[in-house]
Amino acid sequence: MPEGSILVVDDEQRQREVYRDIFLDEGYETVTAPSGEAALRLLAQKRFDLVLTDLNLAGMTGIELLTQILQTDPTVAIVLITGYPSIESAIDATKRGVYQYLEKPVDRSKLLEVVGDALGHLASLKQTIIGHSPAIREMVRMVMKVAPTAHTVLILGESGTGKELVAREIHKHSPRNQKPFLAVNCASLTETLLESELFGHEKGAFTDAYQQKKGLFERADHSTLFLDEIGDTSLAMQAKILRALQEREILRVGGTESIKVDVRIIAATNRNLDQLMQEGKFREDLYYRLKVIPIICPPLREHRDDIEELALHFMGKAGLASGRGVHSISEEALGALKAYRWPGNVRQLEWAIERAVVLGESDRVDLQDLPPEILQTAEEISSSEPAISAPQAGAARFTPVIPETTWEEHEKAKITEALQRTNGNITRAAQLLGMTFRTLQYRLEKFGIRKQ
């Protein structure tokens, strides 16, 4: 049975009922609203995976509604329907984050195809890109928005933030996904090797060219090519990449005939391209050609609320790989993970959890299982806080390292403030905090916070 919750918004009762019956027949959880205002009231009480709305509503328009929805939760898929289509309204809707734009009368099979695709993409992304913070939700929204297109994408972020993962997800949800995703790290090869890898070479083009070789641009024809660390390429290489993008053709090393290619380029870098461009180290024309659609992978220190969910995910992976049944993480260990700055970002967190699972001796990750650099940070925080009580004889060196008042009181204060701001609405409070509804419910019970 299909999974996903749908909110149908239309000011015509008969049309609402038609859409509702179509979705209910397919097994989707479906709720209807007669106006944009009513839809927002429902969304304040419950999260929906997809909103199907008419563009021309009485009162609040469909555009105004989708704008407010995406400001609160960018991962909601929006499908817009109108009986008065125009190029301008379609372009405006697409720019604002609409997943699909359909004209009335809507064909049942087409409607179900669009809704199924949208919910399928969303479910797949949630399983791959872990986290519910505003920064991650915005990143997921951008992936959903650009994946169906052929546009060039530039992914920006520090090392270890998951740039290649995002690139693979874009390809996976694109029309090119029947062909293999190809990738190259531009910083790992010399210029000569990189040129041969990208564009191929003819037999005899250089000393070791014993036979003809197709480059990645040719092999990625009608597919996606990921150029990682493009900020580390030379100006000469940048010129060749630019030509391939502009002319949609390449020239093999030692070749004389141009070869047409249809390749979607996704580039990524951890460098500041604006600064490199100002220093004359990166071509301005290539910069703007690549930066058609930028996607930012935030550093882990900027979405610490996702650390618990990420740690549990990596713990499950490591447990399966090592055959160890590790099912939870202690509050002290979680506090230490949240305190650390993570220069290596999500990749470093995964390694830390894998190490803890493999080397630990119990069915949970404890503080002493974490790497030394994380323990050092925890110890420094502990030494800066007043002691709660003297440690008992035989207690572990770092217990308790993160005083309860440091972490729990801070988190309780954040949750209480969010509930006050939302008049006790748990769904909206969870969105403000970047938590799932269930996570917030667990925290409320744990801290003994009453719903206001």
Q: Is the Cβ–Cβ distance between 333 and 366 less than 8 Å?
A: yes
Quick check: bond before 372 cis, omega within 30? no
pLDDT at 16: 92
Of 160, 96, 95, 168, nearest in space to 125 by CA: 168
- Residue 178 inside a domain? The answer is yes
Question: Does 290 lie in the same domain as 154?
Answer: yes
pTM greater than 0.75 (yes/no): no
pLDDT at 418: 80
Question: Does 423 lie in the same domain as 312?
Answer: yes
pLDDT at 398: 35
Question: Does 209 lie in the same domain as 318?
Answer: no
Sign of the alpha-carbon dihedral angle for 145, 150, 152, 157: positive
Q: Kindly list the averaged pLDDT for each block of 10 residues, start to end, along the chain of length 452.
A: 83 92 92 94 90 88 85 82 61 61 87 89 80 88 87 95 94 91 92 92 78 92 96 96 95 89 97 95 96 94 93 87 83 93 93 90 90 82 51 37 45 79 80 65 74 58
Question: Does 208 lie in the same domain as 165?
Answer: yes
E strands, 358-427, where? 364-365
- Residue 143 inside a domain? The answer is no
Domain final residue pick, 128, 156, 175: 128
pLDDT at 399: 34
Q: Is the Cβ–Cβ distance between 338 and 311 less than 8 Å?
A: no
Question: Does 122 lie in the same domain as 86?
Answer: yes
pLDDT at 1: 47
User: What DSSP state is assigned to residue 223?
Assistant: E
Question: Domain limits at 181?
Answer: 148-298
pLDDT at 138: 87
Of 273, 287, 293, 285, nearest in space to 153 by CA: 293
Question: What is the SS3 assignment for 290?
Answer: helix
Q: Is the Cβ–Cβ distance between 451 and 425 less than 8 Å?
A: no
Question: Does 328 lie in the same domain as 269?
Answer: no
* Burial of 390 from C-beta contacts in 10 A (0-12 / 13-18 / 19+): exposed
pLDDT at 170: 94
User: At how many degrees (to 10) do helices 426-433 and 36-45 cross?
Assistant: 80
Q: Is the Cβ–Cβ distance between 382 and 360 less than 8 Å?
A: no
- Residue 141 inside a domain? The answer is no
Question: Does 71 lie in the same domain as 35?
Answer: yes
- Residue 136 inside a domain? The answer is no
- Residue 419 inside a domain? The answer is yes
Domain final residue pick, 77, 99, 128: 128
Number of domains, the chain: 3
E strands, 201-255, where? 223-228, 249-250
Q: How far apart are CA 217 and CA 260, in angstroms?
A: 10
Q: How far apart are CA 360 and CA 368, in angstroms?
A: 8
pLDDT at 89: 52
CA–CA distances in Å: residue 332 to residues 392, 399, 445: 17, 8, 19
Question: Does 349 lie in the same domain as 434?
Answer: yes
- Residue 58 inside a domain? The answer is yes
Question: Does 291 lie in the same domain as 154?
Answer: yes
The b/e string for 314-345 (b: 16+ C-beta within 10 A; e otherwise) is bbeebbeeeebebeebbebbbbbbbbbebebb
Question: Does 154 lie in the same domain as 40?
Answer: no
E strands, 152-203, where? 153-156, 181-185
* Distance linking the first and last C-alpha atoms of the chain: 37
pLDDT at 442: 64
Q: Is the Cβ–Cβ distance between 235 and 285 less than 8 Å?
A: no
Question: Does 113 lie in the same domain as 179?
Answer: no
Task: Name beta bridge partners: 365.
Answer: 329
The b/e string for 404-430 (b: 16+ C-beta within 10 A; e otherwise) is eebbbeebbebbeebbeebeebbbbbb
> Got the DSSP string for 230-242?
GGGS-HHHHHHHH
Give the domain CATH number at 196: 3.40.50.300
Question: Does 286 lie in the same domain as 155?
Answer: yes
- Residue 72 inside a domain? The answer is yes
Q: Is the Cβ–Cβ distance between 400 and 407 less than 8 Å?
A: no
